[in-house]
């Protein structure tokens, strides 16, 4: 009995140390359910590209969005994406900053695409994705 007690104490201390992990969260990002009303995807891509997740966070008063995509096809896909930014009332903010960016996503690749609003007025976004051609 007395031999087991020091061993049990040591195991408990080791388990306590393992449970103590430092984690860092930057500006409270929040994962949202994939709200397909915020995703404007070309119908051709729907069977090939899957939206894995949508994140949003506030950086010094400016909204940043991140959309994670997975290429579920067996070949690389050339796509264009854009973020459109909206005020809390649903009005589009700064249309001039809405540009299409080009990416190649390899077969099976998971890629996160990030965009930052050009104004603190933006409180929501819509993400557009279409084939390059």
Domain of 108, CATH number, reads 2.60.40.3230
pLDDT of residue 61: 92
Whether residue 20 is contained in a domain is answered as: no
Backbone phi, psi, residue 116, to 5°: -125, 130
Whether residue 14 is contained in a domain is answered as: no
Cα–Cα distances in angstroms (integers) from residue 113 to residues 34, 45, 81, 93, in the given order: 15, 16, 9, 20
The continuous run of DSSP H or E covering 127 comes out as strand 124-131
Whether residue 89 is contained in a domain is answered as: yes
pLDDT of residue 133: 77
Any idea which of 4-13, 74-83, 89-98, 113-122 has the lowest mean pLDDT?
4-13
Whether residue 22 is contained in a domain is answered as: no
Whether residue 13 is contained in a domain is answered as: no
Whether residue 127 is contained in a domain is answered as: yes
pLDDT at 24 over 60: no
**Whole-number Å distance between alpha carbons of 82 and 16:** 46
Domain assignment of residue 61, given as a range: 28-131
Q: How many domains does the chain have?
A: 1
The pLDDT mean for the chain works out to 78
Whether residue 21 is contained in a domain is answered as: no
| Bigger pLDDT: 73 vs 9 | 73
pLDDT at 42 over 60: yes
Whether residue 73 is contained in a domain is answered as: yes
């Amino acid at each position: 009995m007395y031999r087991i007690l020091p061993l049990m104490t040591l195991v408990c201390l080791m388990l306590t140390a393992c449970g103590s992990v430092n984690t860092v969260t930057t500006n409270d990002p929040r994962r949202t359910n994939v709200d397909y009303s915020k995703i404007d995807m070309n119908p051709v891509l729907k069977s090939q590209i899957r939206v894995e997740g949508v994140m949003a966070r506030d950086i010094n008063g400016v909204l940043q969005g991140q959309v994670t995509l997975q290429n579920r096809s067996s070949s690389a896909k050339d796509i264009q994406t854009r973020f459109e930014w909206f005020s809390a009332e649903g009005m589009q903010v700064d249309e001039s900053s809405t540009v299409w960016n080009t990416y190649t996503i390899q077969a099976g690749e998971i890629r996160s695409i990030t965009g930052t609003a050009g104004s603190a007025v933006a409180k929501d976004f819509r993400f557009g994705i279409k084939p390059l051609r």
